[in-house]
Amino acid sequence: EADIYQTPRYLVIGTGKKITLECSQTMGHDKMYWYQQDPGMELHLIHYSYGVNSTEKGDLSSESTVSRIRTEHFPLTLESARPSHTSQYLCASMSRTGAYTFGSGTRLTVV
Amino acid sequence: GESVGLHLPTLSVQEGDNSIINCAYSNSASDYFIWYKQESGKGPQFIIDIRSNMDKRQGQRVTVLLNKTVKHLSLQIAATQPGDSAVYFCAENVYSSASKIIFGSGTRLSIRP
């Protein structure tokens, strides 16, 4: 049973729209992460957070932004979606052992 | 969308045979290693982990081997089944200062009937 939840599972949206991808975890983990992954490709870290009010940019430059107002919630926002944003977005949280638990992902298509 | 990075290498295995997926890790300070399985359209799932004070750990049908001398990690899957078809990622972390996991590039495992 998943302890980290991402919504929506799939999203098709028009160019220029603002979107927010939701990620919530019930494990009380402080550290949370967003990865971008194209089909059949590597995982690329785009944002992470070490706790409430902490956000950092990852290794891959992204036009998205994140916020961390509550421990359990780590949403990702695109102010103006473009076709180049089409990808899968994966959210994860880190346990005390140092392993990630991933959500099921949001597959975003911008048309 | 524009793809970033390299396409993953593929390992093709006959159903019923053993699979061995290899990974070279990068950080000499890493002391915690994890293998993830990612099926099509899903997020990566934890398979097995190993700490640097061990060189072998076994799970159900899976074994992870760690060679710190050459910074090499391998995942062995016994009696490979169609359900094992997935992309497998190795990952490394520094347990005492766990911050970000470093992922390997991944290997796609395909099963021949």
pLDDT digits (tens, 9 = 90+) for A13-48: 999 999 999 999 999 999 999 999 988 788 999 999
Considering only CB atoms, B43 lies closest to which of A40, A45, A102, namely A102
Per-residue pLDDT tens digits for A88-110: 999 999 988 888 999 999 999 99
For B14-65, the pLDDT digits (tens) are 999 999 999 998 888 888 999 999 999 899 999 999 999 999 999 999 999 9
Q: Does A98 touch chain B (CB under 8 A)?
A: yes
Q: Is the pLDDT of residue B7 over 70?
A: no
Distance from CA of A87 to the nearest CA of B (A): 6
Interface touch B98/A43, C-beta < 8 Å: no
User: Is A33–B100 a contact, with Cβ atoms under 8 angstroms apart?
Assistant: yes
- Give, in order, the Cα–Cα distances in Å from A64 to each of A57, A75, B21, B28, B58: 10, 10, 34, 33, 40
Answer yes or no: do A60 and B4 touch at CB < 8 A: yes
Q: Does the structure show a pLDDT above 90 at A83?
A: yes
For chain B, say whether A55 makes contact (Cβ under 8 Å): no
Q: What is the pLDDT of residue B96?
A: 57
> Residue B3: what pLDDT?
35
Q: Could you tell me how many helices (H) and strands (E) chain A has, helices first?
A: 0, 11
Report pLDDT for B105.
Answer: 83
Q: What is the pLDDT of residues B62-94, one digit of tens each?
A: 999 999 999 999 999 999 999 999 999 999 887
**Residue A46 is encoded by which pair of tokens?**
């785009």
- What distance in Å separates residue B17's CA from the closest CA in chain A? 24
